[in-house]
Amino acid sequence: MSFIRVQGLKSLQGKIEIQGSKNAVLPIMAAALLHKGMAVIKNVPRIQDVFCMLEILKALGCSYQFEGHELTLDTRDLCSYKVPEREGRQMRSSVMLLGPLLGRLHQAWTCYPGGCVIGKRPIDLHLSALEKLGAKIEPKEDGIFVTGERLSGTDVHLLFPSVGATENVLMAGAAARGTTRIFGAAKEPEIQTLCDFLNRLGAKVCGIGTDVLTVEGKNTFQDVEFTVPGDRIVAGTYLGAVMAAGGEICLTGVPVRHMEGTLDVVRKTGCQVEAWGEEIRAFMRGRPLPVQVCTGPYPEFSTDLQSVMLSVAAVAEGNSQIQENVFEERFATGKELQKLGTQIIIKDRTAFVTGRYPLKGGEVYALDLRGGAALTVAGLAAEGESRIHGCFYICRGYEDICRDLSAVGARVSMEEE
Ligand code: EPZ
């Protein structure tokens, strides 16, 4: 097992090239199954969840080449509809294969998906939407079997703008007969990117960026070449690092157009931010001002940056309030931050944090992907050495958080227990 060792209290200076987006590339890899052919996907991050998805696609009969950040997927020999259980349990994204497998093979089997322990994370919205398209859902003890000859496009109303459910319906609708309209669709940038990919594949998706998406079903698609945008959550994580540690950093390869809401919150902490094209410069002197933020579906502040903002609030000058409105159990990292001296009270869906500086170094445990990254950020503002255990969570979504933070002068390294 490995852990991240952090020597705190050194301000940051330098440049980080932001990796490709995990939450954009995973649905794109699943959507590639709709087409019997080749997909060349660029700027793919070398993260555990991508390797896990590749294992699943290989088990389904696909082949691939993954060199550097370029992935070539060959889906011509897709022959199985059964998502392997071991990989399926490792991440939530396995559920996203239901739509494309239904579209291509008219049947799909997957175990109940795994992933971070941040809430119940049911898949009822996915299943009821697929059923509306004509799929037959057969829940079994150890998984779900979904069948349906060519699905029929129809109107689908999502009771909550679920990212995954929107993605599943988009992919199933792309191969259905007729037109599917999704009302109450999620508007996250990753949805917009998936729509762009589906259109490049030969589908016809309209309403991109709105909460009403229209998909005209097709029965043939084409080879595609596509570049994944930068990861806005990884970029937000490193903005949290400079807010907590101080200094001046430059992030490149960033989808600035998708980060306006994030940058508004960053600026309110007293961090000076300049953003243009695909570059962000952030300059932080002294401690952050208190954080007042509510997470919510895009374009509200991302739930995936909630834990990072806990770490920023931990060293802010005053009392902060952070409300989590997407997942019902996403404050677990708060307890780990208390081991570094953070004063935090959780009441219902709100964290009340009294900032102090510096924190004190200690041993903490990553409990989920973004929580682990947040603990690393907190270590930058702690006196002495901190150790963050459970790095495998962090490696699921961050290509190399130690490489990136070391590039701006942080004293961090990943070591074996
Ligand atoms: C995606 O998860 C992301 N994961 C999450 O990022 C992100 O936090 C989340 O969207 C919200 O933005 C990927 O894209 C791989 P949801 P997803 O369906 O699709 C409830 C990270 O750290 N819900 O929008 O699972 C659910 O319980 C990860 O990168 C149902 O009730 O999120 C949650 O409370 C963590 N029934 C809320 O909706 C359903 O059928 C949002 O879930 C589906 C969801």
Q: Degrees (nearest 5) of the Cα angle 286, 291, 297? A: 135
Distance 76 CA to ligand 1 centre (A): 30
22-227 CATH: 3.65.10.10
The β-bridge partners of 230 are 20
391 belongs to the catalytic site:
no
> Across-strand partners of 205?
215
Rounded distance from Cα 248 to ligand 1 centre (Å):
33
Among 160, 190, 368, residue to substitute to test ligand 1 (most atoms within 8 Å of Cβ): 160
| Beta-sheet strands, E only, within 111-264 | 136-139, 144-147, 155-157, 179-183, 204-206, 212-216, 224-227, 247-252
d(CA 191, CA 244): 31
Any atom of ligand 1 within 6 Å of the Cβ of 123: yes
User: pLDDT tens-digit profile of 163-218?
Assistant: 999 999 999 999 999 999 999 999 999 999 999 999 999 999 999 999 999 999 99
Answer whether 2-19+230-416 and 22-227 agree in fold. yes
CA of 93 to the centre of ligand 1 (A): 10
Ligand 1: nearest atom to the Cα of 327? 34
Question: Cβ distance 316 to 288 under 8 Å?
Answer: yes
- Ligand 1 contact, 26 CB (< 6 A): yes
The DSSP annotation for 269-307 comes to TT-EEEEETTEEEEEE-SSPPPPEEEB-STTSB-GGGHH
Judge whether 314 and 337 are in contact, CB under 8 Å.
yes
* Top mutation candidate among 131, 156, 163 for ligand 1, by most atoms within 8 Å of CB: 163
Q: What is the CATH number of domain 2-19+230-416?
A: 3.65.10.10
| pLDDT at residue 116 in the model | 58
Q: Residue for token digits 């599943």?
A: 168
Q: According to the model, what pLDDT value does residue 91 have?
A: 83
Distances (CA, A) of 58 to 19, 54, 79, 108: 24, 6, 10, 15
Atom of ligand 1 nearest to the CA of 303: 8
- Please tell me the residue having the least CA distance from ligand 1 atom 20: 121
Which pair of structure tokens corresponds to residue 27?
A: 């649905």
Q: Determine which residue's CA is closest to atom 27 belonging to ligand 1.
A: 121
d(CA 235, CA 23): 13
Residues of the chain with pLDDT under 50: none
Bridge partners (DSSP) listed for residue 140: none
Q: What whole-number distance in Å separates Cα of residue 374 and Cα of residue 372?
A: 5
Instruction: Give the CA radius of gyration of the chain.
Output: 21
pLDDT of residue 114: 66
> Does an H or E element contain 317, and which?
none
Q: What is the pLDDT of residue 5?
A: 98
Pairing of strands 136-139, 144-147: antiparallel
Q: What pLDDT is attached to residue 15? A: 98
Ligand 1 close to Cβ of residue 126 (< 6 A):
yes
Could you tell me which residues are beta bridge partners of residue 183? 157, 212
Q: What count of other Cβ atoms lies within 10 Å of the Cβ of residue 122?
A: 10
Is any ligand 1 atom within 6 A of the Cβ of residue 397? yes
C-beta 374 within 6 A of ligand 1 = no
Structure confidence at residue 10 (pLDDT): 97
* Long-range contacts of residues 217-222, Cβ cutoff 8 Å, at least 24 apart: 217/151, 217/153, 217/173, 217/174, 217/175, 217/176, 217/177, 217/178, 217/179, 217/180, 218/174, 218/175, 219/150, 219/175, 221/34, 221/35, 221/36, 221/37, 222/35, 222/37
Q: Of 116, 195, 271, 395, which one is the catalytic site residue?
A: 116
Domains of the chain, residue spans:
2-19+230-416, 22-227
Distance of CA 404 to the CA centre of its chain: 18
CA distance 101 to 107: 6
pTM given for the model: 0.97
| DSSP bridge pairs for 73 | 39, 64
**What is the number of the ligand 1 atom nearest to the C-alpha of 161?**
24
pLDDT of residue 328: 87
Q: Is the CB of 237 under 6 A from ligand 1?
A: no
Distance 174 CA to ligand 1 centre (A): 21
What does the chain come to in residues? 417
Distance CA 191, CA 180 (A): 16
Long-range contacts, 132-137 (Cβ 8 Å, 24+):
132/156, 133/169, 133/172, 133/173, 133/176, 133/180, 134/176, 135/102, 135/172
Whether 34 and 250 have beta carbons less than 8 Å apart is answered as no
- Nearest partner of 75 among 21, 40, 38, 121, judged by Cα: 38
Nearest atom in ligand 1 to the alpha carbon of residue 160 is 38
* Lookup: tokens for 177: 């007969």
- Residue 346: beta bridge partners? 351
Q: How many whole angstroms separate alpha carbon 156 and alpha carbon 132?
A: 7
